[in-house]
Amino acid sequence: MTFFTRLDPVKEMTGVTFPILMFLVCGIIILTISRIFLCIWQKDRVSNVQGWKRIFISGLRMDIVSMCYLLILPCLITPLVIGVPYLSQIWLIILSVWITFGLWLLVYMEAATPFFIKEYDVRPNRFFVEYLIYPKEVMSMMWTGYKLELALGLIISLITLYFGWNFSNYLVQDLQAPSWYWRPIIALCTVALCILGARSTLGHRAINPSMIAFSHDNLMNDLPLNSSYSVLYAMKLMRKIVDSSTIYPTMKTDDIIRTIQDNSQLTVAAFTQPLLPTLAYHQASTTGKRKNIVILLQESLGARFVGGLGGLPLTPNLDKLMQESWNLTRLYATGTRSIRGIEAVTTGFFPTPANAVVKLPKSQNNFYSIAQTLKAENYHTQFIYAGESHFDNMKGFLLGNGFVDIQDLPTFHNPEFIGSWGACDEDLYNKAHEQFSLLTEQDKPFFSLVFTTTNHSPYDYPQGKIEPYNQPSATRENTVKYSDFALGQFLEQAKKSDYWDDTIFVLVADHDSRAYGDQIVPIDCFHIPAVIFGGGVAAHEDNRLASQLDLPPTLLSMAGISANHPMMGHDLTKDVAEHKQRAVMQYHNNFAWLNNDNHAIVFQPNKGIMTFHYDPTSHILIPSELPDDEIKTANAFALWGSLSYKQDFYQWNKIESVPHNISQ
């Protein structure tokens, strides 16, 4: 207690505010030390944006904000109850717990930050919270691949709790109770100071992360925050659905709709339903017998891992398939999460700064997906997944929106290998082949979404199947190579099967493994493989700019399904005017639009519009002036998803009730 007793003069001077003041000072010291280490770790990026001064000044401001939020309740109660019999003893115990927990939260979140940055290139945010919803899967993953991180977290937590408890006990001992008439004044003044500190401004709106953003580099904008604030702010946003019109430049609804319609492959006259402004009849390009549809959704397979797209030499089977099939060389993902990929390839819904529709409340049923259309056309609609399908609400969303059959891990019989996220990709493809063969025997047309799991940290897969690309064996590169090996085995089976000639397959990634870097939106990290193959699909290298959003309408067209639907993706079996080719990307709260001329337009929350030329070789965004009509188009695309969700433009019962071929 020698060190603690050195603080006795301060305790005598500050009285009942002593524990509050010491908690504030300790919190700021902890957060500042963490920020120093993070900045040293990322010193090159900090220097590139000339961010040393900005990060630490804004960081101190945000740390004060965070601590003031933690102190409002203690500031209110402590002056009022200290010295009051019974109440004083009870509150001092609560205050000790409060301070101890607060110190632990600050230390633990900062300790977890480097590991999160390595994975997502930002401080802990909404993803951190969402993973906590699924403790079984996450703990299995952590135990398998992150034992050191778990051990460090436990050790740091125990040390923090031990010292925090001893320190807090000293802070609350022998506090001098103020006179009764001073108590409400002290409480009122300290609470007022905390509220002012938490708001950090006298303006109409309290401070938020966008007010201190200063760079194109998202991580640099995050370093002035602290991770406790970042996570709690994300939780606040999760309680409400973020509407893009509240954070991006606004447009009139009629202008948004007309711009979206103008950028489709159809004439404006094809859109005849004012209450469903993107609903139109789409004539399939294929005639004759209808085809089955299979989407092979690949976990975290960015173009950087695909040899056929100029990446690492890890995918010989996929590279060969690209040579034999319709190969979309310039297709981009809409986001960085699996549920964003599922949203794109099953519903064609534009990404928004809110969560993917897989997890939003209004889209849990009666929401359009191609499974709705195919189910109405008497297709058997199924989801095949080698893990627990409830993860990320996939099962609930899919069953509520046209899928009737879920084949997940509990339905697998004697899988060869089970890792943290489920059975291996060989087991998954064997299950898929079994299902496709069975449905073909029953003469049922089918639509199947097959989602792989192996290429996900902690990168566990059956050993002895491949020659490792690098060491240790549990790396992203080796799981990519193994997943490609499993794909090759499936292709051999499928080509010999009864369903091959009657099925349109598309292999596409859900997203890249990581999106990172010092660009406001790292466009190269959204480049993914997409290959369409199956019976009758001719080999073709397609260099048009495309998006995941273009796949569902293309698949319907290739399968011979003419139907009304609201999707604004292009049918790639038909011509797409060069000025209408585009990709859209949601990167955290930033939205990017890219066109065929490599013009890129980026929208940040409550910031000005940013316009660039994208260099596809260096992957750098070069500031550039762009035409007003392109900015208007990009703005409409950025706003369309939220508007469509809010106005129920994707409601299936409304779509279903419109007669087919209504536009002709």
Tell me: pLDDT of 569 over 60.
yes
551, amino acid identity: L
Give the separation between CA 302 and CA 318, rounded to whole angstroms.
13
Residue 607's CB is within 10 A of a number of other CB atoms, namely: 15
Residue 254 DSSP class = H
Give the Å distances, CA to CA, from 543 to 281, 331, 530, 546, 597. 27, 9, 12, 9, 13
The tokens 């992203």 sit on which residue?
476
Residue reference for tokens 């139109």: 280
The pLDDT of residue 4 is 73
Residue (of 417, 526, 408, 431) closest to 482 by Cα position: 417
Q: Which amino acid is at 331?
A: L
At 446, the pLDDT band (50, 70, 90 cuts) reads: very high
Burial status of residue 204 (CB atoms within 10 A of its CB: 0-12, 13-18, 19 or more): exposed
Average pLDDT over residues 486-493: 98
527 is in an annotated binding site: no
Distance, CA of 2 to CA of 276 (rounded, Å): 73
The single-letter DSSP state of residue 225 is S
CA angle, residues 445, 450, 451, in degrees to nearest 5: 165
DSSP 3-state of 298:
strand
Asked whether 189 and 89 are in contact (CB, 8 A), the reply is no
- By annotation, the residues acting in catalysis are 338
- The first and second tokens of residue 103, run together, are 């110190």
Confidence bin at 664 (pLDDT 50/70/90): very low
Helix (H, G, I), strand (E, B) or coil at 131: helix
Comparing C-alpha atoms, which of 54, 70, 96 is closest to residue 228?
A: 70
Distance CA 585, CA 225 (A): 24
Average pLDDT for residues 188-202, to the nearest whole number? 94
Task: Yes or no: say if 71 and 19 are a contact pair by the CB < 8 Å rule.
Answer: no
Nearest CA-CA partner of 52 in 253, 214, 275: 214
The reply to whether 510 sits in an annotated binding site is yes
Say whether 433 sits in a helix, a strand or coil: helix
Instruction: Give the amino acid at 552.
Output: P
Q: What are the structure tokens assigned to 29, written together?
A: 């010291």
- What dihedral angle (degrees, nearest 10) is formed by the CA atoms of 481, 487, 493, 497? -170
For 535-548, write each residue's pLDDT tens digit.
Answer: 889 999 999 999 99
CATH 3.50.50.60 fits 253-656, yes or no: no
Q: How far apart are CA 209 and CA 426, in angstroms?
A: 44
575 is in an annotated binding site: no
- Average pLDDT over the chain, rounded to whole? 93
Find the mean pLDDT for residues 70-94. Answer: 94
Q: How far apart are CA 261 and CA 269, in angstroms?
A: 9
Q: Give the helix/strand (H/E) hosting 448.
A: strand 446-451
- Within 464-523, strands assigned E span 503-509
Q: What is the pLDDT of residue 663?
A: 43
Confidence class of residue 2 from pLDDT cuts 50, 70 and 90?
Answer: low
Give me the DSSP letters along 147-215: HHHHHHHHHHHHHHHHHHHHHHHHHHTTPPPPPTTTHHHHHHHHHHHHHHHHH-SSSSS---HHHH---
- pLDDT bin (cut points 50, 70, 90) of residue 131 is confident
Is residue 138 over pLDDT 90? no
Lowest mean pLDDT among 152-161, 203-212, 314-323: 203-212
555 pLDDT more than 60: yes
> Is 215 exposed, middle or buried (CB count within 10 Å of its CB: 0-12, 13-18, 19+)?
buried
| Tokens matching residue 522 | 């790292």
**Is 619 marked as a binding-site residue?**
no
pLDDT higher than threshold 80 for residue 145: no
The rounded distance, in Å, linking the Cα atoms of 631 and 21 is: 50
**Residue 76: per-residue pLDDT:** 95
Give the per-residue pLDDT at 203.
80
Distances 284 to 276, 287, 530, 574 between C-alpha atoms, Å: 21, 7, 20, 10
pLDDT of residue 3: 66
- Torsions phi, psi of 507, nearest 5? -105, 125
Q: What are phi and psi of 543, to 5 degrees?
A: -100, 15
| pLDDT confidence bin for 119, thresholds 50/70/90 | confident
Contact 473, 464 (CB under 8 A): no
Q: What is the pLDDT of residues 8-51, one digit of tens each?
A: 889 888 999 999 999 999 999 999 999 999 999 999 999 999 99
Per-residue confidence band for 130, with pLDDT thresholds at 50, 70 and 90? confident
Task: Quickly state the pLDDT bin for 126 (edges 50, 70, 90).
Answer: confident
**Under 8 Å between Cβ of 411 and 442:** no
CA distances from 193 to 82, 187, 198, 568, 569 (A): 20, 10, 8, 51, 52
Task: Give residue 209's identity as a one-letter amino acid code.
Answer: P
Average pLDDT in the 620-627 region? 96
Per-residue three-class SS string for 383-402: EEECCCCCHHHHHHHHHHCC
Domain extents in the chain: 2-239, 253-656
| Sequence-separated (6 or more) residues with CB below 8 Å from residue 65 | 197, 198, 199, 200, 207, 229
